[in-house]
Structure 1
Amino acid sequence: MLQACLNGGRTRDFHPAVPYTAAELAKDAAAAVAAGASELHIHPRSSSGAESLDPNDTAEAILAIRHNVPGTPIGLSTHWRIPPGGTARQGQIERWQVLPDYVSVNLIEEDAPDVISLILGKGIGVEAGLWSISDAERFVTLPDARKCLRVLIEINEQDIDEGLAAATGIISVLARAKFRLPILMHGDEASVWPMFREAMARGYDSRVGLEDGNLLPSGKKAAGNADIVGAAVLLARAY
């Protein structure tokens, strides 16, 4: 499975094609799916362009995307920094009426167990975001861990050897705990394409898009999300 991460917290200083509005997200989603993406990960924005978990903002983005690419699973971030930030963001999630298919929850965040429980209680899938071995060790002890949709191995290290070591350590923790959840592995900026190749070699799912980086495997700046997804599809064929 190839997931397209369309915007994250990126601004147009990072890339002029970063989508903000619901209409922009929907247009980019259609292009990414046409290029080969099978799932979408988005960060809805408020009218000011800031990341948002407000029920109106999330609903507008989800409905616009579903209109353009019906049946394509849509995931949202629940990152700690998204306004109103910290544990206060749980109140906005509780008020969601138009629901995504899944969300990502980072185990590095102090309220991760509570957010996972809240999300599962609403019938939404959970991607458990593991950035480190300690995240993995925390995750496997949670009562709700085996109810999650998948494990999301997120490699933020920019040194490739360090990133591969972190990924291997996380995988080892999951193996010792006899976890059988699907795994999606991805990198960030310098590690995007090395981690994509590693995911393909291991038979894992992966993701690419402007949230994670703006370059193609060649090092050339991508035209946008569909360009990145298309490059990933071509690269995946080698595996």
Structure 2
Amino acid sequence: MRIEACLNGDRRPGAHPALPVSVDQVVADAHAVVAVGATSIHLHPRDPSGAESLEPQVVAPLMEALRENGPAVPVSLTTSLSAESDPWRRYDLVQRWASSALPDSVTVNLHEAGSIDLVHLLNDRRVPVEAGVWTVEATRILIATKIEVSAVLVEPTQVAVEDARSNADAILSLLDRARVGAPRLLHGTDATTWPMLEAAIEAGYDIRVGLEDTLRLPDGDEAHDNAALVAHAVSLAGAAHRVG
């Protein structure tokens, strides 16, 4: 089971005292989450002001620092339109990422404009793509286009747990019927984070957790940092394995 730590997401600097924004903060946090059991990390690169950015001059120093000083685990970067709202400019930025500083994989949300063109670009650059499917409609895009992906991220965005479960079940059922064989990672956001994580563990899917997804532990207390969230997820996965 892959245990991914999603360190910052699109949260604004200051959303949590331990949210990593600078390159040094990201590198330190990456070591901390790997020390408690994370097997990969997912990041939203930030410019010097703390804003999300896919600019090559932002991505390259981040990846170089992680390669030189970070833990030896795979690094995934976002290509969300939250980081660059113009899909054509996003394509251009990713096209200009330095070959020497490419991430191990990137996430592409299939409901976003320009997503399929971006997937083809990344395939051409030999960067593995993790397809983000938030809805049944996005799942149908994945199936119909037959794009090459290394994983499918099932990401229900509904606020209520039961609504998120229903959406995730519909997505997973469609993936099953279409015999999509790529590994699956299931996760929620905020109030649905821990229920979706537990469902993923039960189903044997990959999991992720971090300040991108939630600021709180299951009991409602604010998590001290990403490592606290990952440590709790690891304990849940370990307990389920022992029971199984």
Are 2:160 and 1:159 equivalent residues in the alignment?
yes
**Equivalent pair of 2:34/2:71 in contact (CA under 8 Å):** no
Match of 1:30 in 2: 31
In the aligned structure 1, how far is the partner of 2:175 from the partner of 2:85? 32
Shift of 1:140: 0.5
**1:177, distance to aligned residue in structure 2 (A):** 0.8
Q: Is the CA contact (8 Å cut-off) linking 2:107 and 2:129 kept in structure 1?
A: yes
What secondary structure sits across from 2:145 in the alignment?
coil
| Residue 109 (structure 1) aligned with residue 121 (structure 2) | no
CA distance in 2, matches of 1:137, 1:113: 13
Between the aligned partners of 2:218 and 2:238, the Cα distance in structure 1 is 14
Q: Sort the Cα spacing of 1:18 and 1:123 in 2 relative to 1 into closer, same or farther, 3 A.
A: same
Cα separation, 1, equivalents of 2:222 and 2:67: 29
Q: Specify the SS of the correspondent of 1:36.
A: coil
The correspondence for 2:140, drawn from 128, 137, 148, is 137
Residue identity opposite 1:217 in structure 2: P
- Pairing of 1:1-239 with structure 2 (within 5 A): 1-83=2-84, 85-97=86-98, 98-144=101-147, 147-239=148-240
SS at match of 2:162: helix
Between the aligned partners of 2:9 and 2:86, the Cα distance in structure 1 is 15
For residues 28-78 of structure 1, give each alpha carbon's deviation from its aligned partner in whole angstroms, at most 9, with x where no partner exists.
101011111000000111111110111121111112122233431000000
Deviations 1:85-135 (A, max 9, x none): 332111110011110000000011021110110111111111100001111
- Show structure 2 runs of 5+ residues with no match: none
Normalising by structure 2, report the TM-score: 0.94
Matched to 1:51, the amino acid is E
- Match of 1:141, SS state, is helix
Unaligned residue ranges in structure 1 (runs of 5+): none
Query: Conserved in 2, the CA contact under 8 Å of 1:66 and 1:72?
Result: no
Size of the aligned set, in residue pairs, is 237
TM norm structure 1: 0.96
RMSD: 1.1
Give the superposition deviation at 1:193.
0.1
User: Residues 162 and 229 (structure 1 numbering): CA distance in 2 closer, same or farther, change over 3 Å?
Assistant: same
